[in-house]
Structure 1
Amino acid sequence: MLKPTDAPELPRILYSCYASRSREGEQFVSEHIFGCQLAGTMLLDDGQQQHCFGEGSVWLLRRNQLMKFQKQPPARGEFETLSVFFDQPTLRAVSQEYGYQAEGHTPGPGVLPLTPSPLYTSYFESLRPYQQLAQPSQAPLLALKVREALLLLLQANPALRDVLFDFSEPGKIDLEAFMQANFRFNVTLSRFAYLTGRSLANFKRDFEKLFLTSPSRWLQQRRLQEAYYLLKEKGRTPSDVYTEVGFEDLSHFSFAFKKAYGVAPSRV
């Protein structure tokens, strides 16, 4: 199995395979990811839109994005995906070697569905023999496969150079709009600060000026409001909604909900 490693010099190609049950969670996508759904279904939610990828689907995830995911194995089968991570040193090296440059920062969705093609199919099939090569000594071979994926994408979608070779960090953006769209993600305040183009101190200062309360208090109140709506209007259950709105565990959610609304979430 190819897995990411803590060693930064090892190229990252991840093969994910398991059976028997769905898995869900969220993550910060720190690098662009080129992925293919080999079997089962992948649901991705970037806070703006939900995408459903079935067998044979191909996608690109943009870096510096918050993402919720749900992985569903097929009936009587295994969930399988292959993902290639484009790290910044590799992208900068390819940019310098081939002259690829972004024409400027291009805002856009975090998930870019790609039109399946025989080229993509052949490439991901070619990765299967490499599933046992996730060792530091095999880094040169994996690096070639990562570069191959990058050049293949650019050949099929030349406009992606404005995404892949945009090396700018997040700029200062509309804080209210971002937080209203992303409060469901259970990430640190420093991560929210980075994604809105602020230092942590400036994020807290701007936040309190805008919302007239602290970020932590606002996040809890906003998540509880969303949970109440889902329970009351949509008929959801507490065990369904607590992670969806950004709480880490059910007991903490239940305690905070009862304190805010005077009733346990199971009684709504």
Structure 2
Amino acid sequence: MSTNAFGDITLNNLLYSCVAEKKRSNEQFVHEHTFGFMMAGETLLYTPDTRTIPEGAIGLIRRNQLVKAVKVPPPGGMFRSISIFLPQDLLRRYSAENKITAGGPYTGDPLVALPKDAFLEAYFNSLLPYFNRPAYLSKALSDLKTKEAIELLLQHNYQLKDLLFDFSEPHKIDLEAFMQQNYMFNVPVSRFAQLTGRSVAGFKRDFEKIFKAPPGQWLTQKRLSEAYYLLKEKGRKPSDVYLDVGFENLSHFSFAFKKTYGVAPSLL
């Protein structure tokens, strides 16, 4: 294993990405706070707003976020980024040991861009050798590097404690508005339930009251309707559309589209 390998390399809670061509990320949900450095190229983030994370950017993404990411290499070069995930159990221990707590539920931007900082950049560079020699990264050392990241973030901006140490779970929110805004994310119903502050049973019950259809049925029809608009009115190609609207693969999308509209998406 080396830092020259293409694709994603994961070591404990560290992630190194290195790709030669534009590539979509498979994961669409941020499970843990993620501290990252864009080493080369840029990332397009859809949250569902579109943001461009440029080369050289350092930032922090709050956990429990729906995010689509597209990795874009620089002209003639390789996309390279490194991230460290900050697990809740370690953050809880750090909070208790250092007597640092959040001032309340975090309500700021879930994507925090950090100004360029020599110490933060040097920290990420210190992680790179482990991807060449993964045997050196024991669990204990991984925890130490994670604590170092937390310490550096707090030294950089102490108010980040309100994001890092907010251990509250999503509260009950407007389900209709949330689903209309986030239907294109390909995550399980259980994840939609969590993010709207409901049990799965409560989510399904509230969903059917609002939309008069089960979640799976509504999601499929909503995604197909958006795909039809993009194909018919915007002239997009099926291969460019199916992932954008939340389908997992092109064949399933084509089958569902033809079943609903009586024509293959490629013929619109």
User: What code does the residue aligned with 1:103 have?
Assistant: G
Q: Give me the identity figure in percent.
A: 54
Q: Are 2:199 and 1:199 aligned?
A: yes
- Could you tell me which runs of 5 or more consecutive residues in structure 1 were left unpaired when the two chains were aligned: none
Partner residue, 1:232: 232
Q: Are 2:196 and 1:160 aligned?
A: no
Segments ≥4 residues shifted beyond 4 Å: none
Q: Deviation of residue 106 (structure 1)?
A: 2.0
CA contact (8 A) 2:10 2:16 kept: no
Give the structure-2-normalised TM-score: 0.90
Q: Are 2:126 and 1:126 aligned?
A: yes
Q: Are 2:143 and 1:143 aligned?
A: yes
Partner residue, 1:249: 249
User: What code does the residue aligned with 1:74 have?
Assistant: P
CA contact (8 A) 2:33 2:62 kept: yes
Question: Structure 1, residues 46-95: CA drift from partner, whole Å, max 9, x if none?
Answer: 22x22212221111111111110111222222211110110012101111
Q: Are 2:72 and 1:72 aligned?
A: yes
Q: Tell me how far apart the structure 1 counterparts of residues 81 and 243 of structure 2 sit (CA, whole Å).
A: 24
Partner residue, 2:22: 22
Partner residue, 1:211: 211
After superposition, the CA RMSD in angstroms is 1.9
Q: Deviation of residue 205 (structure 1)?
A: 0.5
Partner residue, 2:38: 37
CA contact (8 A) 2:130 2:137 kept: no
Q: 1:232 to 1:130 in 2, by over 3 A?
A: same
Aligned pair count reads 261
Q: Tell me how far apart the structure 1 counterparts of residues 32 and 133 of structure 2 sit (CA, whole Å).
A: 21
Give the structure-1-normalised TM-score: 0.90
Q: Tell me how far apart the structure 2 counterparts of residues 116 and 239 of structure 1 sit (CA, whole Å).
A: 38
- Could you tell me which runs of 5 or more consecutive residues in structure 2 were left unpaired when the two chains were aligned: 4-8
CA contact (8 A) 1:22 1:70 kept: yes
Partner residue, 1:46: 47
Q: Tell me how far apart the structure 2 counterparts of residues 238 and 109 of structure 1 sit (CA, whole Å).
A: 33
Q: Deviation of residue 255 (structure 1)?
A: 2.2
Partner residue, 2:174: 174
